[in-house]
């Protein structure tokens, strides 16, 4: 059985969370910076994501080929991601390669040189990535919805940037962003593996402790969202697409747990979600309908998305509104609430079996809150949710007078 996680600090101030996982030959390690696309200026649109790409392109001791080959050649996986608020480099590998993997990740994260030739090459790659998103209506409509909701804030801009913004970026722009945002308070290391916290700390001191980061704190610009905004477009697509939503609770808000349960009940991944049962199973109007809730440091975004045939668009919207009205008007019965809690508790337990995802979740929590809730604490928060709380949240977030939408009507 895995042991409880431990949190400690390296001599250079970087915080670390580690969970010892006995009897496993696989380790997982990530370095996370609490800096993403929302931290960009208008000029820097797409820069955080660009950094995620080019951070693998060479260090003072390794070329791109050696970086990409070192972990993959021994059966491991090296990866990275950028969100609105985070950038992360992480890897999964056999436990016996822990030392070399720590050294590689630290070298990538703290010591990348960003060769000019590689920067220009990667701009072409990202432009192709942008084009692929533009060919995906579900991705495109979400970007448009977020821009509609936050029209005057970086949270509204997409993560990838534009072809025009990418072409402007220089090595100096990258280094300026990193120096400003990859600071001592903004960077954490997360780990799961068959090694004690004390032994891991010794290894991290060797490979990571030598890097000195600034201890400044860059405050995020508060997000202000639009209310009751709607947009209709007529792109050349095979389906009509629709997204409806609202600003919601932040990572710091105590109501986020109940909001998560409500979203899961309404349109989570399970086949028995209310929207799936009513709109796909009962009426056969759509292949995919889902509800999502993303949390940020000072706000959140709730949305419902579906794609359907043009002739079914209005009917499907009516049924979505009907389900939202049920949430606003009717309290969950004791049985319904108990079932919803049982379902999400089961989903969390299963998700924790994915140790890469768990490692990343630990790191995200530590870099955001400065602490991590235990599984028991999370379960207790879920158990305390009441039907009255769920209804109160429904009436606030699902208010027809404040919700916004984007509609793609295919030609």
187 and 257, same domain (yes or no): no
203 and 254, same domain (yes or no): no
Within 10 Å of residue 90's Cβ, how many Cβ atoms?
22
pLDDT at 1: 60
262 and 162, same domain (yes or no): no
Spell out the residues 6+ positions from residue 390 whose beta carbon is closer than 8 angstroms to its own.
258, 261, 262, 327, 331, 332, 337
Task: Say what the pTM is.
Answer: 0.94
**CA separation, residue 8 to residues 19, 103, 137, 187, 189 (Å):** 12, 19, 44, 13, 10
Please give the chain's pLDDT, 411 residues, in tens: 677 899 999 999 999 999 999 989 999 999 999 999 999 999 999 999 999 999 999 999 899 889 989 999 989 999 999 999 999 999 999 999 999 999 999 999 999 999 999 999 999 999 999 999 999 999 999 999 999 999 999 999 999 999 999 999 999 999 999 999 999 999 999 999 999 999 999 999 999 999 999 998 888 899 999 999 999 999 999 999 999 999 999 999 999 999 999 999 999 999 999 999 999 999 999 999 999 999 999 999 999 999 999 999 999 999 999 999 999 999 999 999 999 999 999 999 999 999 999 999 999 999 999 999 988 999 999 999 999 999 999 999 999 999 999 999 998
111 and 200, same domain (yes or no): yes
Query: Does 223 fall in a domain?
Result: no
Query: Does 212 fall in a domain?
Result: no
200 and 234, same domain (yes or no): no
168 and 274, same domain (yes or no): no
Query: Does 213 fall in a domain?
Result: no
Q: Are 152 and 146 in contact (CB under 8 A)?
A: no
Query: Does 90 fall in a domain?
Result: yes
Q: Tell how far CA 66 is from the center of its chain.
A: 28
Query: Does 384 fall in a domain?
Result: yes
As a whole number of angstroms, the distance between CA 137 and CA 350 comes to 30
Say how many domains are in the chain: 2
196 and 247, same domain (yes or no): no
Query: Does 1 fall in a domain?
Result: no
257 and 376, same domain (yes or no): yes
Partners of residue 404 on adjacent β-strands = 245
As a whole number of angstroms, the distance between CA 313 and CA 305 comes to 12
Domain boundary among 207, 241, 257: 207
Full residue range of the structural domain in which residue 34 is found: 6-207
As a whole number of angstroms, the distance between CA 51 and CA 170 comes to 11
> In terms of DSSP H, where are the helices of 213-284?
256-267, 274-275
Query: Does 216 fall in a domain?
Result: no
391 and 273, same domain (yes or no): yes
Domain boundary among 207, 222, 255: 207
As a whole number of angstroms, the distance between CA 129 and CA 157 comes to 16
174 and 320, same domain (yes or no): no
CATH number of the domain where residue 169 is located: 3.30.830.10
What is the greatest pairwise CA distance in the chain?
Answer: 64
Query: Does 214 fall in a domain?
Result: no
Strands (E), 145-239: 187-193, 230-233
> In terms of DSSP H, where are the helices of 194-296?
197-207, 256-267, 274-275
Domain boundary among 207, 240, 259: 207
- What would the two tokens of residue 275 be? 């929207």
272 and 364, same domain (yes or no): yes
Closest CA to 174 of 38, 84, 53, 61: 53
pLDDT at 3: 78
- Residue 90 is classified by DSSP as E
Instruction: Rounding to the nearest 10 degrees, give the CA dihedral for residues 158, 160, 164, 166.
Output: 140
Residue 7 three-state SS? strand
64 and 137, same domain (yes or no): yes
């Amino acid at each position: 059985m895995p042991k409880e996680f431990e949190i400690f600090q390296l001599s250079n101030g970087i915080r670390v969370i580690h969970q010892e996982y006995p009897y496993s030959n696989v380790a997982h390690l990530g370095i996370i910076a609490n800096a993403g696309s929302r931290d960009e200026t208008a000029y820097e649109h797409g820069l955080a994501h660009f950094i995620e790409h080019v951070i693998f392109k060479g260090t003072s001791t390794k070329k791109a080929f050696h970086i990409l080959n070192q972990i993959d050649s021994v059966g491991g996986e090296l990866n990275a991601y950028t969100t609105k608020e985070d950038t992360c480099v992480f890897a999964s590998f056999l436990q016996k390669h822990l030392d070399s993997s720590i050294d590689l990740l630290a070298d990538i994260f703290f010591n990348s040189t960003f060769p000019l030739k590689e920067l220009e090459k990667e701009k072409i790659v990202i432009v192709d990535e942008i084009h692929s998103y533009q060919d995906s209506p579900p991705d495109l409509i979400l970007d448009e919805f977020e821009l509609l909701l936050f029209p005057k804030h970086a949270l509204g801009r997409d993560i990838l940037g534009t072809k025009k913004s990418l072409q402007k970026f220089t090595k100096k722009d990258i280094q300026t962003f990193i120096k400003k945002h990859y600071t001592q308070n903004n960077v954490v290391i997360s780990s799961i593996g068959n090694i004690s916290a004390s032994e891991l700390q010794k290894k991290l001191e060797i490979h990571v402790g030598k890097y000195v980061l600034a201890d400044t704190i860059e405050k995020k610009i508060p997000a202000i969202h639009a209310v009751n905004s709607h947009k209709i477009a007529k792109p050349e697509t095979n389906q009509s697409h629709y997204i409806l939503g609202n600003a919601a609770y932040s990572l710091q808000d105590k109501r986020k747990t109940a909001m998560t349960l409500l979203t899961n009940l309404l349109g989570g991944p399970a086949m028995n979600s209310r929207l799936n049962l009513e709109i796909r199973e009962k009426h056969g109007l759509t292949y995919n309908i889902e509800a999502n809730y993303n949390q940020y440091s000072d706000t959140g975004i709730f949305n419902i998305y579906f794609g359907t045939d043009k002739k079914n668009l209005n009917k499907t919207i009516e049924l979505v509104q009907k389900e939202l009205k049920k949430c606003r008007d009717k309290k969950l019965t004791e049985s319904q609430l108990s079932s919803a809690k049982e379902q999400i508790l089961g989903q969390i337990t299963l998700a924790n079996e994915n140790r890469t995802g768990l490692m990343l979740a630990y790191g995200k929590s530590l870099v955001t809150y400065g602490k991590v809730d235990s599984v028991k604490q999370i379960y207790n928060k879920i158990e305390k949710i009441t039907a009255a709380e769920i209804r109160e949240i429904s009436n606030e977030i699902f208010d027809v007078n404040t919700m916004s939408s984007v509609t793609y009507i295919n030609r």
